[in-house]
Structure 1
Amino acid sequence: MDKTLQRIIRLTQKQVDAKSNCYFDQYSFNYTKDLLGEGSFGSVYRGTQGNKFVAIKILNLKFYDNPAYKQALKNEITLMMELQSPNVVRILDALCDQHDNELFLIIEYCEGGDLRHLLSHQPNQRFQESAAIAIISQTIQGLSELLHKNYMHRDIKPDNILLKQNTYKVADFGLAAKIPPKQVLRAQAGTPLYMSPQLLEGKEYSNKCDIWSLGLVLYELLFGRTPWLCRSFDTYLMEIQTKPLQFPYEIEISANVKDFIKRCLKIEEQNRMSWTELLKHPMLQAQGKLKRQATQERLNFTVLEREYLYNIQLICAQHNFQAKDLMKQCGKTHINQEEFQNMLRKIMNQDNDEISKQLFGKFDQSKDGLISAQEFEYLFSEYDFAPIDTLAVQITHELQAIIKIYQISLKQLFEQLDQDKNGFLDQKEFEFLIKKIAPKLSQKNIFEIFKNYDQDNDGKISLKELKFVLQSKNYQKLKIILNKIRETLMKKSVSTNVLFTSIDADQKGYLNFKDFEYFIGKIDKVSRSDVQDLFNLFDEDENGKISLNEFNSLLNL
């Protein structure tokens, strides 16, 4: 054992009884009942020391033959014993059982769990702004002590921020590194999703890497997700470099918070704010003094306008276009209404002059009859227009983006997921797909998403239903129309047979697109392409007609 560690680690010998109770020194725990978590090198248990709880981290020392692992362990123990901040999880004691080659680290027990767990139990999986600022403020207070000792944490993420009696504490210092002021490192460390671009690229980096991670964590606390999709090391870096930092339009945040996040998430380190600037930032200075910081003034877009803008953003993501690229294609720095409408017509491959006219009026903030490149880029790049009202919608839009960007065949995806080859996805098969996107979702949340795809409520998802949700531009609105039909039938006690016959005016025995379009038009105002999506969902055998059986099957009444 390292000489430094020998001075701070006491020797002990554990005793284990027939009921799996483990006793050593003044500590005890149960191997079966008290397990809190497991990792590659050991496990963590809730133990007791007299009448108080402690966390007991047990490490198998045979895994620490590697010099790099030994150094990481030494860093973690010495640093956590040295730190005194109330916003840091401390090691209280360290003991070694040489007979079993095990190390016991006695750590503060944080009964509130980690921030990842707390976030998943918030309404809509996100915190209110005031709560998010308080969490980040306490996290920064914990990191400040590291900063004063010339350390960087290098693994800031929700999983490493714990709650104990209303106090948030920074945990897990295994990747912490000591670095003299104004010096840089190159060694890669951390969790890819929260790594700064410099770490992802293997370039030199400074203690500003922790500032990047803080910005990402704050964004996730406010919006329930991170700003860029992370599916692999390389594609994540490309996402950061090509997709602008955008803020979900549907959630308003204060100007100070938005500025804080923007300055944390500058791609180049020289443009990212320093720790001195961060500690003096107005968001932290105002925290606790104001009930609510003023939100940034913004334009109001209708639901239809937001859907339209989101579809443009999806198409641009598929072709790696940015706002400035769209303006460049026009060959001008300012465009008039006709040029703006032509540009949108080319992108969407369809006419919607009414919406594009309304959007022109809103993008033209100077009201000079022209949209400048700056006006267009600010509004188009500043906001993410994806709906964010429910978890199911968030996950679905993330799936839609992945499918569009990588041009995934839904039929092939469905066949891969359909393990028992019965032509349907049950909840377990569907869960495999969702876990790829959001691995820590609860069973309750997965079931909520499953119901969103199961249009006929039969407890399984067909390829048609999967396509309907992932390929329809306005599937949420179409789902509402489906439910309206069901509610009308139930309220008026009308059978689906009677409704079908009334729609099939010339008694053909089936509904063609014209019949169906007329019927939907009486329920709600829907575009022709949306009516086609809904028609295709009913038309199970894809013969261009809706039979009575198909009509009954989807309405499932």
Structure 2
Amino acid sequence: MIQNTGLEKKVEKYQYNTSNVLGDGSYGTVYKGINTITQQIVAIKVIPKTKVYDPEALSFELRLLTKLKGENIVRLHETLATQNNYYQIIDLCDGDLKQLLEKQQTLQQDEAIKMMLDLLRGFLELIQNGIIHRDVKPANILISKGKYKLADFGFARLVDNYAQQQFVTVLGTPLYMSPQLLQNLQYSTKCDIWSLGFIFYEVLYGRTPWTANSIPELVKNIQEKPLLFPDKIKQVNDNVKDVIRRCLIINEDERIGWYDLYKHPLFSNNFKDIVNLDDICNNKEKFIAQILRNEIVRQDISIEQLVQKLNWGPQLTIKDIESLFLKIDNKLQRIQLEHIFNKIEKANNQYLTLQEFQQWLDKFQIPFQSYKQNAMECFIVIKQIMKQFNQTLAQYYDKFNQAKDGKLKYEEFKLFILRCNNQIFDTQIKSAFELLDKQKQGYVTQQDLQLELDKIN
């Protein structure tokens, strides 16, 4: 039982004393409390309903916290409500980074790097769930048994595309805000990267890279005063300085991105899945395309019919692609989905056109697992016959093009394939013909066919 001179409060199975204040969050005060049944010590965030101007925003924060399970995120155990207050029961931590810096001013370089690794692990959880924090500051970095954890998601929000999405709403703590937020400009999830770089600098040198007495003065200092590393105060290695420099680039387009931050030499050994993200995503992408093509052939439907079946419009969002891809691979991670989507989407406008989706499908000429479903088998047998008899495609094409007009109609194409191998199924021939006749003109050209043959080793 907690003994104190303040008022004893009890909410269901939890009890706390009003003198045991741990800190203040976005909406309310955090107290040290206890679960009277299990005797577990917890933190209880008390949020007066009179201070909640937007209940939906609070509800949103609670939903966000419920989704987050990582070790470097302060975990929400449950939420309670009385007539006057909301109560969040969260992990009890030993303190926060702000309090630690007030005691000892700086962290040693190894400890500062460890802090960054912990925070990057926390952000990886946010990225996987499509969440931007927008208020990263020392007071919102809690410490529990030497482990640094992200806390206070009062300004957080969901994003569709972590790597590309832009925002205009200004929230957060001015000193740690990126220049874009300070100037009410459009910004991206890289605003959190700026805050991380700002804090990384502060914990090493005991002061922030820029200071000011007002937001206009802070913006002016950031824009006009160069980023300096006070080596007389502390020597830090070149990789540390490089991370800070790249996090604190004013122009967001030039500022380091999330994936490159994880792949930086200072951190890469701890994030192998991110370092190898390209290879992992290439394999995922190939698998998804193969299964999708198999299904298209199995159902004997065109791409247009597939789009209609999925109820897609002329522009596809990442959510449209997610709903399809997760049906094929339910282990696909959000970070992988985004990586694949952004490779397909060429214009960087958050939308994928049907033409881009078609081009993506065309890129994968994959042998299907089922022989009957394998449209590519038609092209393989042509290639094999050409190689066996040392003849060119033109020689075969002219032989079956009766009109000599350079246009091989379906029946001619079918006769051509069956002459190469009479075990090929009609569904395979039809699929191969439709693959070549994208414009549905009723014929295929020698050039179209040659392009497909060139893709086969």
Please say if 1:147 is aligned against 2:127.
yes
Structure 1 position 73 matched with structure 2 position 58: yes
Q: Given the superposition, is the C-alpha separation of residues 228 and 262 from structure 1 closer, same or farther in structure 2, using an over 3 Å criterion?
A: same
Q: How does 1:31-46 map to 2 (within 5 A)?
A: 31-32=18-19, 34-38=20-24, 41-46=27-32
Give yes or no for contact 2:166–2:187 (8 Å, CA) kept in 1: yes
SS in 1 for 2:267: helix
Mapped to 2, the partners of 1:223 and 1:230 lie a distance apart of: 17
Q: Provide, for residues 394-433 of structure 1, a one-character-per-residue CA deviation record: whole Å limited to 9, x for no partner.
A: xxxxxxxxxxxxxxxxxxxxxxxxxxxxxxxxxxxxxxxx
Cα distance, 1:51–1:188 mapped onto 2, change above 3 Å: same
Report the Cα distance in structure 2 between the residues aligned to 1:177 and 1:40, rounded to whole angstroms: 14
1:223 to 174, 180, 205: 205
Give the Cα–Cα distance (whole angstroms) in 2 for the partners of residues 86 and 37 of structure 1: 21
2:17 paired residue number: 30
Superposition deviation, residue 18 in structure 1: 11
Counterpart mapping for 1:53-202 below 5 A: 53-64=41-52, 66=53, 69-98=54-83, 101-110=84-93, 112-122=94-104, 125-181=105-161, 182-202=164-184
Of the three residues 210, 233, 250, the one matched with 2:192 is: 210
Q: Which runs of 5+ in 2 are unaligned?
A: 272-457
Partner Cα distance (1:153, 1:21) in 2: 33
- In the TM superposition, 1:52-451 aligns within 5 A as 52-64=40-52, 66=53, 69-98=54-83, 101-110=84-93, 112-122=94-104, 125-181=105-161, 182-250=164-232, 251-285=234-268
> In structure 2, what is the Cα distance between the partners aligned to 1:41 and 1:134?
30
The answer as to whether partners of 2:197 and 2:243 remain within 8 angstroms in 1 is: yes
Match of residue 549 from structure 1: none
Q: Secondary structure at the match of 2:92?
A: coil
Distance, in Å, in 2 between the alignment partners of 1:163 and 1:63 is 27
> Which amino acid in structure 2 is aligned with residue 21 of structure 1?
E
- Between structure 1 and structure 2, the one with the greater Rg is 2
One-letter amino acid of the structure 1 residue matched with residue 31 of structure 2: Y
Deviation at 1:230, TM superposition (A): 2.2
- What is the percent sequence identity of the aligned residues? 42
Distance in 1 between the 2:10 and 2:133 partners? 33
Q: From the superposition, tell whether residues 136 and 70 of structure 1 become closer, same or farther in structure 2 (CA, over 3 Å).
A: same
Matched position secondary structure for 2:125 = helix
Write out per-residue CA displacement over residues 461-517 of structure 1, whole angstroms, 9 at most, x where no aligned residue. Answer: xxxxxxxxxxxxxxxxxxxxxxxxxxxxxxxxxxxxxxxxxxxxxxxxxxxxxxxxx
Q: What letter corresponds to residue 108 of structure 2 in structure 1?
A: Q
CA contact (8 A) 2:25 2:152 kept: no
CA contact under 8 A between 1:133 and 1:287: conserved in structure 2? no
Alignment partner of 2:213: what SS? coil
Q: Aligned to 2:167, what secondary structure does the other structure show?
A: coil
- CA change 1:287–1:40 in 2 (3 A) is closer
- TM-score w.r.t. structure 2 length? 0.56
Contact 2:136-2:195 within 8 A present in 1 as well? yes
CA separation of 1:245/1:95 partners in 2, compared to 1, >3 Å: closer, same or farther? same
Aligned residue in 1 for 2:299: none
Hey, what does 1:399 align to over in structure 2? none
- C-alpha deviation, 1:270, in angstroms: 0.4
Assess if the C-alpha contact under 8 Å between 1:132 and 1:221 holds in 2: yes
Q: CA deviation at 1:172?
A: 0.3
Gap change, CA 1:273 and 1:239, over 3 Å in 2? same
CA distance in 1, matches of 2:134, 2:8: 36
Distance 1:230 1:130, change over 3 A: same
Deviations 1:428-477 (A, max 9, x none): xxxxxxxxxxxxxxxxxxxxxxxxxxxxxxxxxxxxxxxxxxxxxxxxxx
Give the corresponding residue for 1:47: 33
What SS does the aligned partner of 1:72 have?
helix
Deviation at 1:197, TM superposition (A): 0.5
- Equivalent positions of 1:445-464 (< 5 A) are none
Q: Residues 209-233 of structure 1: CA distance to partner in whole angstroms, max 9, x if unpaired?
A: 0000000000001000111112101
Residues 109 and 40 (structure 1), Cα distance of their counterparts in 2 relative to 1, 3 Å cut = closer
Kept in 2: contact 1:75–1:173 (CA 8 A): no
1:121 deviation in Å?
A: 2.0
Q: Deviation of residue 26 (structure 1)?
A: 1.1
- Pair 1:276–1:40, CA change in 2 (3 A): closer
Paired letter, 2:133: H
> CA–CA distance in 2 between the matches of 1:263 and 1:257?
10
Structure 1: which 4+ aligned runs deviate by more than 6 Å? none
2: distance between equivalents of 1:265 and 1:31? 40
Distance 1:53 1:249 in 2: 43
| Normalised TM-score (structure 1) | 0.46
CA contact (8 A) 2:26 2:154 kept: no
What's the offset of the Cα at 1:30? 1.4
Amino acid across the alignment from 1:97: T
**195-204 vs 143-152, which moves further:** 143-152
* Aligned-pair CA distance for 1:23: 1.7
